[in-house]
C-alpha cells in the first residue's frame, strides 16, 4: 500500500514542510520544502534527525536522503535553514523559482553548485515535468514561465502532490496575483491545503478584502496554517473568513506540527503534535 | 579593520503596525568539533576546538575591509563551504526598523552596514528578547549606526550575476540530466528544452 505524509512543522515564523512517501514496494522517499532554521533555533533539523532515527527509515545512510529540496521563493524565513538540512541529509535535487533578484537564494545556489551533498539544481516553472516521489506524482501549478513579480511571494512555487485519488497542495507565500492565475486550477481532490503566507491578509484576500482562493478550494479540504502571532499571523480577517467557510483549519502556533496522511483512497487523516 | 557588520536586505514590510525590513547576515556555523582555530579576545588568547559556534562575518577573507568585488563573496564560499570541513557559511535573518535604512537604497539586495551596538539591539528583537516598542524607541538614537554600502551592494549584485551565468553553463552542459519540459501544447509527453 502506498502512503503520502506531509509534515508542516512548527518552526515559529517561516515554513518547513517535510514530505514522506512510501511506495507500493515499501520503499521510502523524502522531500523538503523550505526551512527557517537559524543558528539559535534549529527546530526542523533537530526534529527530523530524531524522526529518522525513531521511525528507523532505511534511507538514513543515503548520500542524498531527500529526493528534492524546494525553496518556494527567495525569502529568508523559507530558505535560511535549507543549507543546514541539505548538508546534514543531502538532496538529489535543489529547486527554486526561475526568475528574480536573488538574496538568500544566491548563497544556496552557490552551495549547491559545489557540494557533493547536492546532485543537481534547477529553476522551476509550470512547464517542468517533475519526477515522481515514490508513487506520488508532483506537479508545479505556478509560476508560469518568464513571470517575475518584485514581490517575491507571488513567485512562490505552488506544488501539487497527488497519490491515486487524493491530492495535497503546498502554496509557499503566494498572493493575489498568483492566485488570480492559479485558483481556478485547484483540483477538486485536494484534501490538504497549506494556507499561503502564514494566514496573512494578502495571502488569502485581495485588495478589496475578497477571498482569492478559498472559493476554489474543495470544501472537504483541511487547511493548514504555518504561523506565528508576532507578525499578526494569521490575520483576524482571514480567521473570520475561515470560521465561516466549510473547510476546517489547524494552525502551527496552536497545534504545533501538523501531519496530513493519505493512502490515496481512504479518508485523509490529520493529526497534530501539541 | 572595519568592525561594522554587513547586512543584506531580504524583504521590506511597510505595514504601520510592523515597519521593519528583514535583512540577513553571513556567519560561519560549526556543527561538529572543529580544530585548528585560535581565539583572540580580551579575556583569552589561544588555540581551541570550536563546537556549536556561530561566527558573524564582518568582511572578506584576506584582511580587506569590505566586500568590494564579486570575488570577495566567491572566496567566502570557496573557503567555508567545503563538504569535508566541520563548518559552513550560513545566513541568518535580522529585523531592522525601516527608519534606519532610509538613507541609501532601501530595496531588496542592498547591502548596509551596522554598528555592533545596533546589531545587538536588532538581534535581541529578532530573538524575541525585547519588544517592538522598545526597539523603535532606541532606534531613534541610532540613525548614524546603520549606513548604506553602495560598493558592496554592487559587488553582491555582480557576484549573483556571475553565479547565475555559471549555473546556466552547468545546466547546458548537463541538459540530459535535467528536468524535462512538459509539452504544453500536445498534451501528455515531454520534450527537452
The model's pLDDT over A218-239, given as tens digits with 9 standing for 90+, comes to 999 999 999 987 778 999 999 9
B61 domain residue, yes or no: yes
Mean pLDDT of chain A: 95
CATH of the structural domain A3-273, one choice from 2.40.50.140, 3.30.70.600, 3.60.15.10, 3.40.50.10490? 3.60.15.10
Contact B26, B9 (CB under 8 A): no
A27-54: buried (b, 16+ CB within 10 Å) or exposed (e) per residue? ebbbbbbbbbbbbeebbbbebbeeebee
Looking at residue A150, its pLDDT comes to 92
Q: For residue B57, give its domain range.
A: 5-186
Q: Where are the domains of chain A?
A: 3-273
Give the alpha-carbon dihedral of B68, A75, B167, A171, to 10 degrees.
-170
B192 domain residue, yes or no: no
Average pLDDT value for residue range A97-119: 92
Interface mutation vs chain B, best among A110, A146, A173, most B CBs within 10 Å: A110
Given pLDDT bands bounded at 50, 70 and 90, which one contains residue A174? very high
CB neighbour list of residue B187: distance below 8 Å, 6 or more residues apart? none
Looking at residue B188, its pLDDT comes to 40
B174 domain residue, yes or no: yes
pTM for the model: 0.95
Reply yes or no on whether the pLDDT at B108 is more than 90.
Answer: yes
Q: Residue A90's closest chain B neighbor by CA?
A: B83
The model's pLDDT over B148-162, given as tens digits with 9 standing for 90+, comes to 999 999 999 999 999
Domains in chain B, number: 1
Reply yes or no on whether the pLDDT at B190 is more than 80.
Answer: no
B158 domain residue, yes or no: yes
B126 domain residue, yes or no: yes
The model's pLDDT over A52-92, given as tens digits with 9 standing for 90+, comes to 999 989 887 889 999 999 999 999 999 999 999 999 999 99
Reply yes or no on whether the pLDDT at B186 is more than 60.
Answer: no
Reply yes or no on whether the pLDDT at A176 is more than 90.
Answer: yes
Contact B175, B192 (CB under 8 A): yes
- Chain A stretch 112-171, residues whose beta carbon is closer than 8 A to a beta carbon of chain B: 113-117, 120-122, 124, 126-131, 150, 152
Looking at residue B1, its pLDDT comes to 67
B191 domain residue, yes or no: no
CB neighbour list of residue B140: distance below 8 Å, 6 or more residues apart? B99
Reply yes or no on whether the pLDDT at B100 is more than 90.
Answer: yes
Given pLDDT bands bounded at 50, 70 and 90, which one contains residue B187? very low
Looking at residue B86, its pLDDT comes to 86
CB contact under 8 A, B178 and A122: yes
Helix (H, G, I), strand (E, B) or coil at A107: helix
Count CB pairs under 8 A between chains A and B.
113
Average pLDDT value for residue range A178-196: 98
Residue among A32, A38, A39 at smallest CA distance from A16: A32
What ipTM is given for this predicted complex? Answer: 0.93
Distance from CA of B98 to the nearest CA of A (A): 15
The model's pLDDT over A130-169, given as tens digits with 9 standing for 90+, comes to 999 999 999 999 999 989 999 999 999 999 999 999 999 9
Interface mutation vs chain A, best among B10, B82, B84, B185, most A CBs within 10 Å: B10
Distance from CA of B115 to the nearest CA of A (A): 20
Grid coordinates given for A131: 519526477
Residue among A20, A84, A8 at smallest CA distance from A52: A20
Amino acid at each position: 500500500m502506498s502512503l503520502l505524509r506531509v509534515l508542516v512543522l512548527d518552526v515559529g515564523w517561516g515554513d518547513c514542510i517535510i514530505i514522506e512517501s512510501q511506495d507500493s514496494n515499501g520503499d521510502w522517499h523524502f522531500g523538503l520544502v523550505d526551512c527557517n532554521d537559524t543558528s539559535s533555533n534549529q527546530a526542523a533539523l533537530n526534529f527530523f534527525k530524531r524522526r529518522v532515527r525513531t521511525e528507523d527509515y532505511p534511507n538514513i545512510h543515503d548520500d542524498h536522503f531527500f529526493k528534492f529540496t524546494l525553496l518556494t521563493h527567495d525569502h529568508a524565513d523559507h530558505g535560511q535553514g535549507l543549507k543546514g538540512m541539505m548538508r546534514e541529509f543531502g538532496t538529489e535535487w535543489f529547486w527554486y523559482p526561475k526568475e528574480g533578484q536573488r538574496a538568500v537564494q544566491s548563497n544556496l545556489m552557490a552551495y549547491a553548485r559545489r557540494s557533493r551533498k547536492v546532485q543537481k539544481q534547477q529553476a522551476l516553472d509550470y512547464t517542468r515535468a517533475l519526477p515522481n516521489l515514490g508513487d506520488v506524482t508532483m506537479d508545479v501549478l505556478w509560476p508560469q514561465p518568464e513571470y517575475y513579480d518584485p514581490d517575491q511571494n507571488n513567485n512562490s512555487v505552488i506544488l501539487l502532490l497527488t497519490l491515486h485519488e487524493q491530492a495535497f497542495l503546498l502554496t509557499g507565500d503566494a498572493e493575489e496575483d498568483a492566485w488570480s492565475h492559479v485558483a481556478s486550477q485547484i483540483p477538486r481532490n485536494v484534501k490538504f491545503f497549506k494556507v499561503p503566507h502564514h494566514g496573512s491578509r494578502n495571502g488569502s484576500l485581495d485588495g478589496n478584502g475578497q477571498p482569492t482562493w478559498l472559493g476554489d478550494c474543495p470544501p472537504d479540504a483541511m487547511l493548514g496554517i504555518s504561523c506565528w502571532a508576532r507578525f499578526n499571523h494569521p490575520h483576524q480577517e482571514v480567521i473570520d473568513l475561515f470560521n465561516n467557510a466549510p473547510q476546517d483549519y489547524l494552525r502551527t502556533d496552536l497545534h504545533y506540527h501538523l501531519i496530513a496522511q493519505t493512502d490515496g483512497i481512504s479518508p485523509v487523516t490529520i493529526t497534530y503534535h501539541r | 579593520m572595519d568592525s561594522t557588520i554587513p547586512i543584506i536586505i531580504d524583504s521590506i514590510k511597510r505595514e504601520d503596525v510592523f515597519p521593519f525590513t528583514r535583512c540577513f547576515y553571513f556567519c560561519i556555523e560549526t556543527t561538529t568539533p572543529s580544530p585548528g582555530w585560535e581565539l583572540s579576545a580580551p579575556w583569552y588568547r589561544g588555540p581551541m576546538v570550536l563546537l556549536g559556534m556561530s561566527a558573524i562575518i564582518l568582511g572578506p577573507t584576506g584582511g580587506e575591509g569590505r566586500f568590494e568585488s564579486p570575488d570577495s563573496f566567491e572566496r567566502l564560499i570557496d573557503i567555508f563551504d567545503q563538504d569535508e570541513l566541520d563548518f559552513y557559511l550560513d545566513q541568518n535573518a535580522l529585523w531592522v526598523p525601516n527608519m534606519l535604512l532610509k538613507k541609501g537604497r532601501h530595496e531588496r539586495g542592498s547591502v548596509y552596514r551596522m554598528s555592533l551596538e545596533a546589531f545587538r539591539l536588532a538581534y535581541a528583537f529578532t530573538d524575541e528578547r525585547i519588544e517592538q516598542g522598545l526597539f523603535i524607541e532606541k532606534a531613534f538614537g541610532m540613525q548614524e549606526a546603520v549606513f548604506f554600502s553602495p560598493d558592496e551592494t554592487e559587488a553582491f549584485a555582480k557576484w549573483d550575476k556571475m553565479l547565475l551565468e555559471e549555473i546556466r553553463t552547468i545546466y547546458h552542459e548537463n541538459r540530459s540530466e535535467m528536468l524535462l519540459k512538459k509539452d504544453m501544447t500536445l498534451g501528455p509527453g515531454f520534450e527537452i528544452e
